Amino acid sequence: MDIKPIKTDADYREALKQIESLIMAAPDSAEGERLDVMVTLVEAYESKHHALDLPDPVEAIKFEMERKGLSVKDLEPMIGKSNRVYEVLNRKRALTLPMIRRLNHSLGIPAESLINLAQKVHA
Protein backbone atom coordinates (compact mmCIF):
# COMPACT_ATOMS: atom_id res chain seq x y z
CA MET A 1 0.00 0.00 0.00
CA ASP A 2 1.74 3.18 -1.22
CA ILE A 3 0.08 5.98 0.75
CA LYS A 4 1.63 9.31 1.66
CA PRO A 5 0.49 12.13 3.95
CA ILE A 6 -1.69 14.91 2.57
CA LYS A 7 0.28 18.14 2.96
CA THR A 8 -0.89 20.37 0.12
CA ASP A 9 -4.06 21.11 -1.83
CA ALA A 10 -2.55 19.18 -4.75
CA ASP A 11 -2.08 16.15 -2.48
CA TYR A 12 -5.67 16.60 -1.30
CA ARG A 13 -7.06 16.67 -4.86
CA GLU A 14 -5.04 13.57 -5.74
CA ALA A 15 -6.35 11.76 -2.64
CA LEU A 16 -9.93 12.62 -3.65
CA LYS A 17 -9.29 11.14 -7.11
CA GLN A 18 -7.95 7.97 -5.51
CA ILE A 19 -10.99 7.73 -3.24
CA GLU A 20 -13.29 8.17 -6.23
CA SER A 21 -11.57 5.29 -8.04
CA LEU A 22 -11.81 3.06 -4.93
CA ILE A 23 -15.34 3.94 -3.84
CA MET A 24 -16.86 0.64 -5.01
CA ALA A 25 -14.14 -1.54 -3.48
CA ALA A 26 -15.19 -4.45 -1.30
CA PRO A 27 -14.61 -3.62 2.39
CA ASP A 28 -12.43 -6.67 3.11
CA SER A 29 -10.23 -6.29 0.04
CA ALA A 30 -6.86 -4.55 -0.25
CA GLU A 31 -8.59 -1.76 -2.19
CA GLY A 32 -11.19 -1.45 0.58
CA GLU A 33 -8.45 -1.09 3.17
CA ARG A 34 -6.72 1.52 1.01
CA LEU A 35 -10.03 3.37 0.73
CA ASP A 36 -10.42 3.40 4.54
CA VAL A 37 -6.93 4.82 5.00
CA MET A 38 -7.41 7.45 2.27
CA VAL A 39 -10.74 8.58 3.72
CA THR A 40 -9.14 8.93 7.16
CA LEU A 41 -6.32 11.03 5.72
CA VAL A 42 -8.74 13.24 3.78
CA GLU A 43 -10.96 13.75 6.83
CA ALA A 44 -7.95 14.79 8.91
CA TYR A 45 -6.78 17.22 6.23
CA GLU A 46 -10.28 18.69 5.80
CA SER A 47 -10.80 19.17 9.53
CA LYS A 48 -7.52 21.04 9.75
CA HIS A 49 -7.65 23.08 6.53
CA HIS A 50 -11.29 23.28 5.47
CA ALA A 51 -13.19 23.35 8.74
CA LEU A 52 -16.75 24.55 8.39
CA ASP A 53 -18.16 26.95 10.93
CA LEU A 54 -21.59 26.36 12.35
CA PRO A 55 -24.25 28.55 10.78
CA ASP A 56 -25.20 31.73 12.59
CA PRO A 57 -27.96 30.75 15.05
CA VAL A 58 -30.18 33.79 14.53
CA GLU A 59 -29.85 33.46 10.77
CA ALA A 60 -30.70 29.76 11.08
CA ILE A 61 -33.86 30.63 13.05
CA LYS A 62 -34.82 33.33 10.53
CA PHE A 63 -34.13 30.97 7.63
CA GLU A 64 -36.42 28.32 9.11
CA MET A 65 -39.07 30.96 9.79
CA GLU A 66 -38.97 32.08 6.16
CA ARG A 67 -38.77 28.55 4.78
CA LYS A 68 -41.75 27.38 6.81
CA GLY A 69 -43.70 30.63 6.59
CA LEU A 70 -43.57 31.18 10.35
CA SER A 71 -44.22 34.43 12.19
CA VAL A 72 -42.94 35.65 15.54
CA LYS A 73 -46.22 34.41 17.01
CA ASP A 74 -45.40 30.90 15.74
CA LEU A 75 -42.13 30.93 17.72
CA GLU A 76 -43.81 31.80 21.01
CA PRO A 77 -44.32 28.15 22.06
CA MET A 78 -40.59 27.59 21.55
CA ILE A 79 -39.11 30.83 22.91
CA GLY A 80 -41.76 32.69 24.92
CA LYS A 81 -43.87 35.79 24.46
CA SER A 82 -43.31 37.89 21.34
CA ASN A 83 -41.10 40.43 23.14
CA ARG A 84 -38.77 37.58 24.12
CA VAL A 85 -38.75 36.24 20.54
CA TYR A 86 -37.76 39.71 19.29
CA GLU A 87 -35.01 39.93 21.91
CA VAL A 88 -33.57 36.61 20.70
CA LEU A 89 -33.87 37.59 17.02
CA ASN A 90 -32.14 40.92 17.78
CA ARG A 91 -29.40 39.17 19.77
CA LYS A 92 -30.38 40.89 23.02
CA ARG A 93 -31.27 37.69 24.87
CA ALA A 94 -29.54 34.33 25.02
CA LEU A 95 -31.41 31.12 24.47
CA THR A 96 -32.06 28.94 27.48
CA LEU A 97 -31.61 25.19 27.38
CA PRO A 98 -35.39 24.58 27.19
CA MET A 99 -35.63 27.06 24.27
CA ILE A 100 -32.78 25.29 22.49
CA ARG A 101 -34.46 21.93 22.94
CA ARG A 102 -37.82 23.21 21.66
CA LEU A 103 -36.29 24.98 18.64
CA ASN A 104 -34.23 21.91 17.82
CA HIS A 105 -37.23 19.62 18.09
CA SER A 106 -39.76 21.89 16.37
CA LEU A 107 -37.65 23.49 13.65
CA GLY A 108 -34.86 20.94 13.26
CA ILE A 109 -32.10 23.50 13.82
CA PRO A 110 -28.95 21.76 15.10
CA ALA A 111 -28.60 22.24 18.84
CA GLU A 112 -24.88 23.03 18.38
CA SER A 113 -25.82 26.12 16.36
CA LEU A 114 -28.33 27.29 18.92
CA ILE A 115 -25.88 26.78 21.78
CA ASN A 116 -23.48 28.98 19.83
CA LEU A 117 -26.00 31.86 20.21
CA ALA A 118 -26.29 31.27 23.93
CA GLN A 119 -22.50 31.57 24.23
CA LYS A 120 -22.22 34.65 21.97
CA VAL A 121 -24.77 36.68 23.91
CA HIS A 122 -23.13 35.88 27.26
CA ALA A 123 -19.61 36.59 26.04
pLDDT digits 0-9 by tens, 32-47: 899 999 999 998 998 8
Domain residue ranges in the chain: 9-49, 57-122
Asked if residue 108 has pLDDT above 60, the reply is yes
pTM: 0.55
DSSP string computed for 76-108: HHHH-SHHHHHHHHTTSSPPPHHHHHHHHHHH-
- The amino acid present at 17, given as its one-letter code, is K
What's the pLDDT score for residue 1? 55
Q: What separation in angstroms does the CA of 5 have from each of 11, 20, 41, 46, 121?
A: 8, 18, 7, 13, 40
Look over the chain and give the mean of its residue pLDDT values, rounded to a whole number. Answer: 87
What's the pLDDT score for residue 34? 92
Lowest-confidence pick of 27-31, 47-51, 106-110, 118-122? 118-122
Architecture of domain 57-122: Orthogonal Bundle (1.10)
